[in-house]
Every structure is written in C-alpha cells, then in structure tokens.
A and B are shown apart, each in its own frame.
Chain A
C-alpha cells in the first residue's frame, strides 16, 4: 500500500537503514544547500512557473487543446529546479522521460514554445511533431523527451560516453522514475557506466507510483538508491520535496562524478499531486494521502516559509506570482493562436540526407 510521507523532510534517512559497510570510497553525506535570498527567490520563481504552467496545461487538456498523453510535473518541481540549478549549462547534458515540461522550464526555455508544442503548433519547439513527451533543446544540451520507459537511461549513458570520449568535462543527468527503475536496460547501463567510469548521475525521481502501482508493489528492493550497489555504483537518498536538500545533494554528486570516480545514483523522494497522465483518475491512492502531502510537504510552501524567514515580504512574492501568471497566460494564448504546422511538414525531418 501507499506510504504517505508525513514529515516535510519526506525522505527516510539512509542512516536508518544502512547498506552493508564497505571499504570502497563513498560520497560524503550531502549537506542542505545554504542558499542566498536571491538564489532561493530564483528557485521559488522557477518552481512556481512550472506549477502554474502545468496547471494551465491541465486546463488546456481539459479544453481539448492538448491531445494524447500529457504528464504533469505538479508536486515534483523541487527536483528539476534543485538539480539543474547546479549544472554547468555550457557542458553538462540532461535527458529524461516523458514527464519533461518541468525540465525544459528549469532551463529557462521560453514557455511559449513549450506550450505551443503541447498544442501541436508550428511554433512548438519540435514544430508540433513531438508533442508533450518529445521535446528537445540541443542548444541547451537537453536531449529529450523519451516515451519508452527507461530508454533515456541508456541514451543518457551514451551522452556521458560522449563527455568522456571528447574529454569535455561534462556530466550527464539522466532522470527516470521509480517505474523505470525496474527496467532491465537501467542495470545494463549502470554496469557499463561503472565499468567505463562514465560521468553520469542516475536520477531516480521516486514519486511513489509507477502509473498506478505503488513502489513497494513493484520493487523487491524499494530503497531505490541502493539499486546501483551490485555494480559498485554508490547511491544517495534525498528529500525531493526540499529544493535546498536537492541542491545540496547534487553538489556532492557532481563533485564525485567530476572527480572521475564514475557514476552515482540519486534517489529523490518526491510526490506527484496529479494522476500519472491527464487520463489517470488516480483511484489507487486516497484523497487524504494526496492532501496530506500537499499540506505537509509541498516544495513551494516550504520555500515560502524560508523566504519569509529571510525577510521576503508577501508583496514581493505576490509580484513574482503575478509576473508568472502573466507569462503563463501569454504562453497559453500563443499556443492557442499559433497556426498548426504546414501540411508540408508531414514529410520533413524524416531523414537528414537526400538519397
């Protein structure tokens, strides 16, 4: 059964359930990031942008303007924002699955082209041909946007292979869910990544449910941060509802990987408030469970409390909120009003070359 998390630090501490002692070097216990007011405000802004964007996407879906599958990131915002804030965007790469809107927004990519992709318009970042699940920004070293559960993990190992091959100093962040954590290719990738000391961070976004299946109904070892141990890949478990805990953990992970010590697994304990996709009524968990998480563990509320403690006023936050609401409204309008792709686009981009 589902196990609602009751404290704001949603993760169970690794110390409570230790892995067998090992004489191998392990990364140090991560420390919570000490953000400046400006940094935390920026995290707040990004998380709120993702939340409002996703809420609007949910509305547009309800209006029939977004089709097919649409997987919202609401509840999990602290993960993408905390992790990606630590990357060097000049050299590090990111790849994820189909719940990808938040990761794009965390790069500061224009919400308009993301929303326009959701509505299948020419102005969308994939010219309307990818949709919710297939968005990419090679310019930002964001490699998608993949619809087959787990595929992004071995593709991510390939991105890391390139970092190593070209000796460009980059690290790949490969996100996947607790569901994908049971896919065979994840373990094939862990094995190769450790064998070849690839610069990759395996990021497990554990939101508690693989579609409708609770983690402990699908995973014999539900402490997913341990999943790399038999490949000698160390793991850390992180409170994914706390953006500063996430940021602190990724600092440690990056230090490990950039030092050439090979890959690392990060399990981010998080929670999605909405169904798996827009077509999921989420009958597998109680309303109370969801409400408890929202009331006690929400990443944005958490940041608000800390910002207030730092002396940020309600007016300042309101101004940010207003700005975000306007940006999202503009993105939605743009996405509704942009033209659909030209019919000729049907035949473009199948192959690069002419034969």
Chain B
C-alpha cells in the first residue's frame, strides 16, 4: 500500500504552510534523506526530507499551494516492489484534516501550552475583540500585517529617515534574523548598518551602548532576552544610569529588542518574562507590545527616544496578524496604555501576549453576562497608572493577567498602585492571574499547567464580581 507523505510541522506552533517547490516528480525513486520539497512558513523556508524509500506515485498538492494544513497528505509514495500506478489507483484512506493521528510516522502538531496562547490571540482578533486605537485617525486605511513584518517595517522606516540608526546582533544580517524580524534589512541598508555580531552578548551590548553615548542610534537585537542576562550589566549600569550619573551630560539613546517570555516547549532557560526586571530600573523605558500596530508605532517611538529602551517582543506573536494603519509615519506615544476592549463590570489589565488571553476571556465572560474592560499597558515603564485607575473607577474590580511569574511582577506593582491610589474604588480585592511560580517545565502537560489560561482569567473575573 502506498505511503502518504504528509505536510510536516516545521515549528512547534506551525498550523499551515506553503508548499513552495517540489524537488521530485512523479515516477522518481527516492531514498531516505532525499530532499523532496521546500516548505515555507512566515518565518522560514525549510526542506522536507524523505523518511522511506520508494517511488513517488502521485503528487497530491501542487507546488505553489498556500495554506496547506499540517498533516494533510501531499504525495503518495509506492513502496519497494509496489506498482506505482496501482498505488495511486488504491489510495490510502484520506487523512483526517483535523487532529492528525499521533503515531510515530505521521507528522503531527507538537503538544504545547503555547498553542493555546496563540489560539487565544487568533480567536480574539477574529472576534474583533480588540478595539480600534484612538491614536489612529478615523478613516485610516488598515492593512493586515504580522507583528514580525510590523517590527521590520518600523526599523526600515527609521533607518531610511536617520543614518545614525543601525541594527546589530546575532544573525541579524546574512541569516536575515534568527526569527526573521530583520528580513531584507541587509539588502536595503548594507553591512555598514546591519551588522552580524559574534555570540557575545555582554560585549556587543557594551559596543552598542558606547556607540549610543557617542551619538549613534543603535538597535541591539538579542536573539532572545534570555541571553540578555549576560548583557544586563550594560543595559542597567551603563545605559540606564549614565544620564543621571553625568548630570544630564551623556545620553544613551539605544533600543535593546528581541523576543521575551515563554515560547513553545523550549524549557526553563529559554522561557522567561523579563518585563518586571527591567521595569524596576529608573532610567529605562520598557515597552512590551501586543498587536502589530503597537509593535510598529512603539518601536518607531523607541528608536527616536533620547532614552535607553528595552523593547520586549514575543516570539509567539511574531506570526500573528493584526490590522495596522497604513500611514507614512505611524508613531505611538510611549507611556500610554490602550483600552483594548471597553466594558463596565471588571477591568482586566495585561500586556504582551497576556492581552490575547484577556481578550479571549472577555469574550467568554460576555457569554456569561459579565462585561469586561481590557487594558493593554503597552509600556511597562513608565507605567500608565492613570488609565488603569480610570478604568477601575468605572468597574470597581480588577484582575491582572501576566504571562510571567507572580512574585515581584507587574501584577504586583499594579496591585500596589491600586491599593495606594484606587483603594476607595475597589469593591473586591485585586487578583493576579500569572504563570505558576516555577521554572517553566518542558513536558507538554506540565508546561500547559504552568502557563496562564483563559479559564483562570474567567474564574478570577467571576470571583471579583462575586459570581
């Protein structure tokens, strides 16, 4: 019987991809390890290798086909001694398009709690749960764009406008970015301004900071913020404190950016939210956007800022699409939160990927008659407490949703601010929905248990509403 070759999952969160090119044709004999096809995702082009020997009996999905779901049969392979045409005549049962069977020979989606986070984002976006930003002028044409593209466009626009702006980091140039955020920048700006560094975070964070002190506008990309711990001395001691220590003489206008927070099944050392760490430091600006529009508008603002900025992206959001205003120069104000969804019964405060979880929770709460307001903080330092307190004055109930640890978190900070400045508006204690207070585990079931979930947000919101 012919073997079905199925669309593989090339990354933990990949749902579908483009079958860019077949490197074999019907009738070709293949053996294990031969490259059969090139598959493209929004992030990368990957090669699809043969596992079994045999003859390509039939190509079921032609090259150039977009949106091929993971697990769908894309070709039939006749085994040794098997008649290829007979194999085609008696095809194997069609693969189920949903829930591919999890056996050793079938490509299937890796189990991960991260998928739930991404799904929340996608569902919330589809449901139109995310309100239009009042910063965007009415009537502005909107275009769908991934967060990855929005970040790239922000950098490219600022680099076109200002020769002092350059990007440095590991794999940012020739490789086009480890997560493809800097895709195309080398081609447009050349290797003077798009600079591959050795794997040497402490050193190149210092080089970037020194260049900023001398008057350039560096964008330092960390492959992930986990590696920036090696560089945190320069981010804090050199960049954040210089203006103060010099009595305002010496500045460090630099952007440190890269993915932050949990990704999918990458284990404890690659899954941490550093938002609370950097937000604790005077002298820094800390931004953690959720949507593509905010990613673009705030990264442009960060690059223009005279102050050092820590710009925390999220790998799981890179591939998510959002509406982005089609404007020549879309810059958002730093330090302003956004009401992502208006409501009157309870305020859900979050940032980064937690906003997707909060928005999805708001949709579920609406089904139960609870009208939740969702606030996306966007900037973690300086914190827009006014928007939070204004919302609290309306709803009198507040839950903070944070993809990160609970102890000394942004959630803790919000709770303290609300106690100090909004106590009289509170009808219930502030609750925190955060990741579990453990290093992020690898095992799929444990990882799911450790990450924030919509249901926990729903439960917390009902609790503060005494429902």
Contacting B at CB under 8 A, from A131-170, are 134, 136-138, 143-148, 151, 153-163, 165-166
Return B380 CB to nearest CB of chain A, in Å: 12
Q: In the complex, are the beta carbons of B206 and A155 less than 8 A apart?
A: yes
1/0 per residue B303-324: CB within 8 Å of A? Answer: 0011100000000000000000
B interface footprint on A189-215 (CB within 8 Å = 1, 0 otherwise):
101100110000000000000000000
Contact among A124, A148, A191 for B237, CB-based, below 8 A: A148
When the two chains form the complex, which single residue of B207, B233, B306 contacts A158, counting CB atoms closer than 8 Å? B207
Please determine whether A355 and B203 come into contact, CB atoms closer than 8 angstroms. Answer: no
Q: How far is the CA of A163 from the CA of B215 in the complex (A)?
A: 10
Are B206 and A189 interface neighbours, CB within 8 A?
yes
A123 to chain B, nearest CB (A): 11
B256 located at the interface, meaning its Cβ lies under 8 Å from any Cβ of chain A in the complex:
no
Chain B contacts with A in 209-240, Cβ cutoff 8 A: 209-216, 233-234, 237-238
Within 8 A of B (CB), among A333-351: 348-351
Asked if B151 lies at the interface with its beta carbon under 8 angstroms from chain A, I say no
Are the C-beta atoms of B246 and A351 separated by less than 8 Å? no
Q: Contacts A125-B247, A192-B198 known; A151 to B307 CB distance under 8 Å?
A: no
Cross-interface CB contact of B210 among A95, A188, A350, cutoff 8 Å: A95
A130 interfacial by beta-carbon distance below 8 Å? yes
The 8 A CB mask of A177-189 against B (1 = contact, 0 = none) is: 0000000110011
| B246:A130 contact, CB within 8 angstroms | yes
A247-297 interface with B by 8 A CB criterion: none
Q: Report how far A180 CA is from B124 CA in the complex, Å.
A: 52
Distance in Å: Cβ of A20 to nearest Cβ of chain B? 25
Would you call B250 an interface residue if the criterion is a C-beta within 8 Å of the partner chain's C-beta atoms? yes
CB of A237 closer than 8 Å to a CB of B: no
Q: Are B244 and A153 in contact, with the CB atoms below 8 A?
A: no
Say yes or no: is B334 at the interface (Cβ < 8 Å to chain A): yes
Residues of A within 8 A of B305 (CB): 352-353
Residues in B whose Cβ lies below 8 Å from that of A192: 197-198, 200, 203-204, 207
| With A136-B249, A158-B206: A355-B334 Cβ-Cβ less than 8 Å | yes
A127 within 8 A of B: yes
Are B203 and A154 in contact (CB-based, < 8 A)?
Answer: yes
A191 adjacent to B203 (CB under 8 Å): yes
Q: Known contacts A158-B209, A188-B203; is A355 also within 8 Å of B237 by CB?
A: no
Q: Are A143 and B214 in contact (CB under 8 A)?
A: yes
Chain B nearest CB, measured from A227 CB (Å):
15
A161 with B211: in contact, given A129-B245, A185-B203, A191-B203 (CB under 8 Å)?
yes
Nearest CB on A from B217, distance (A): 11
A184 CA to B306 CA, complexed, in Å: 29
Q: Give the residue name and chain of the A residue nearest to B233 (CB).
A: A148
Asked if residues B237 and A350 are in contact (CB atoms below 8 Å), the reply is no
Question: Is the C-beta of B467 less than 8 angstroms from some C-beta in chain A?
Answer: no
Nearest B-chain residue to A195, judged by Cβ: B198
Q: Given the complex, which residues of A lie within 8 Å of B251, measured CB to CB?
A: 352
Tell whether, in the assembled complex, residue B285 and residue A351 are in contact, meaning their CB atoms are under 8 Å apart.
Answer: yes
Q: Which of B411-466 contact A (CB under 8 A)?
A: none
Query: Once the chains are docked, how many angstroms separate the CA of A93 from the CA of B333?
Result: 35
- Number of B interface residues in the complex (CB < 8 A): 47
A196 CB contacts on chain B under 8 angstroms: 195
What number of residue pairs across chains A and B have CB atoms under 8 A from each other?
158
Q: Which of A138, A166, A188, A195 contacts B249 (CB 8 A)?
A: A138
Alpha-carbon separation in the docked complex, A278 to B253 (Å):
35
Question: How many angstroms between the C-alpha atoms of A154 and B202 in the bound complex?
Answer: 8
- Indicate which residue in A146, A157, A348 contacts B248 across the interface (CB closer than 8 Å): A348
A267 CB to nearest B CB, Å: 21
| Nearest A-chain residue to B306, judged by Cβ | A352
Question: From B237, which residue of chain A is reached at the shortest CB distance?
Answer: A148
- Which of A127, A146, A156 contacts B247 (CB under 8 A)? A127
Measured between beta carbons, the chain B residues less than 8 angstroms from A348 are 248
Q: Are B210 and A157 in contact (CB under 8 A)?
A: yes
| Given the contacts A95-B210, A159-B211, A136 and B246 also touching, CB distance less than 8 Å | yes
Q: State in angstroms the CA–CA spacing of A213 and B282 once bound together.
A: 34
The answer to whether residues A355 and B250 also contact, given A154-B210, A159-B211 and a CB cut-off of 8 A, is no
On whether A184 and B202 interact (CB within 8 A), knowing A143-B210, A158-B213, the answer reads: yes
CA distance A92 to B211 in the complex (A): 14
Set of chain B residues within 8 Å of A136, measured between Cβ atoms: 242, 245-246, 249-250
Q: Does the CB pair A144–B250 fall under 8 Å?
A: yes
- Measured in the bound complex, the distance between the Cα atoms of B248 and A156 in whole Å is 20
Is A96 close to B, CB under 8 A?
no
Residues of the B chain whose Cβ atoms lie less than 8 Å from the Cβ of A153: 206
Note all chain A residues with C-beta closer than 8 A to B282: 350
Q: Which residue of A lies closest to B192 (CB)?
A: A165
Q: Is the CB of A352 within 8 A of B243?
A: yes
**B196: nearest chain-A partner, CB-CB:** A195
Partner of A191, one of B198, B238, B243, B307: B198
Q: Any chain B CB within 8 A of the CB of A126? A: yes
* CB neighbours of A163 from chain B (8 A): 214
Chain A residues, CB < 8 A from B351:
none
Q: How long is the Cα–Cα vector from A145 to B214 in the complex, in angstroms?
A: 15
A136 to B252, CA, bound (A): 13
Closest CB of chain B to A104's CB: distance in Å? Answer: 13
| 6 residue pairs A–B, Cβ–Cβ below 8 Å | A126-B245, A143-B250, A144-B250, A158-B207, A191-B198, A192-B204
Extra contacts besides A151-B238, A158-B208, A349-B244 (19): CB < 8 Å:
A93-B214, A130-B247, A144-B250, A145-B246, A154-B210, A157-B207, A157-B210, A158-B210, A159-B213, A161-B211, A163-B214, A189-B206, A191-B203, A192-B200, A192-B207, A349-B247, A350-B282, A352-B305, A353-B307
